C-alpha cells in the first residue's frame, strides 16, 4: 500500500545549473580538470567536489590541465589570458576520485548572471571584471546577454 513518511529535514536543492541562452551553434573544446583545484562543498552533510556548469575555467601554468578561474590563485588560473571558456559538464562527485575530462564552451550566447567564478574556494557569481576580460579575449566568442 502506498504511503508517505515525512523526512527529518528538507534537502538542499542540488542539480545542474543552466547558463546557456541558447543551445544552438555552441562550440566546445575538451580539457582535463585537475581535481585538486576544485573546492569541496558540503551537500547535505557530505563533502563533495562539485564542478557546476557555468564555471569559468582557466589553464594551469606548467600543466595541460585546467581548473576554476580564481583571481586569488597562484598557479596560472588567476590570469585572465589563461581563461579557456565556461564549463559545460556537470560533475557532482567524480572529482572526488580522479581528474576528469570536461567540455568547455568557448563560443555561445550565455547568461552572465548564471555563470560563476571561484573566489578563494567559494563559487560566486561572475564579476564584471572577469566578464569584461572574457569579452576582450579574441580566442573566445562568448556573448553575454
Note whether residue 43 is domain-resident: yes
Query: Is 108 inside a domain boundary?
Result: yes
pLDDT of residue 8: 62
Q: What is the CATH number of the domain that holds 72?
A: 2.40.300.10
Domain that holds residue 135: 27-144
pLDDT tens-place string over residues 43-86: 888 899 999 999 999 999 999 999 999 999 999 999 999 999 99
- How far is 69 from 84, CA to CA, in rounded Å? 9
48 part of a folded domain: yes
| Number of separate domains in the chain | 1
In a domain, 19, yes or no: no
Report yes or no on 4 lying in a domain: no
The answer to whether residue 38 sits within a structural domain is: yes
At 112, is the secondary structure helix, strand, or coil?
helix
Amino acid at each position: 500500500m502506498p504511503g508517505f513518511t515525512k523526512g527529518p529535514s528538507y534537502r538542499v536543492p542540488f542539480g545542474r545549473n543552466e547558463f546557456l541562452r541558447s543551445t544552438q551553434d555552441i562550440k566546445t573544446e575538451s580539457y582535463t580538470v585537475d581535481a585538486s583545484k576544485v573546492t569541496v562543498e558540503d551537500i547535505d552533510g557530505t563533502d563533495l567536489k562539485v564542478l557546476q556548469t557555468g564555471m569559468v575555467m582557466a589553464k594551469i601554468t606548467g600543466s595541460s590541465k585546467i581548473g576554476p578561474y580564481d583571481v586569488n590563485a597562484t598557479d596560472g588560473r588567476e590570469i585572465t589570458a589563461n581563461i579557456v571558456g565556461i564549463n559545460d559538464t556537470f560533475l557532482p562527485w567524480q572529482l572526488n576520485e580522479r581528474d576528469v575530462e570536461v567540455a568547455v564552451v568557448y563560443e555561445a550566447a550565455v547568461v552572465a548572471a548564471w555563470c560563476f567564478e571561484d573566489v578563494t574556494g567559494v563559487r560566486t557569481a561572475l564579476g564584471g571584471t572577469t566578464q569584461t576580460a572574457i569579452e576582450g579575449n579574441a580566442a573566445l566568442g562568448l556573448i553575454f546577454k
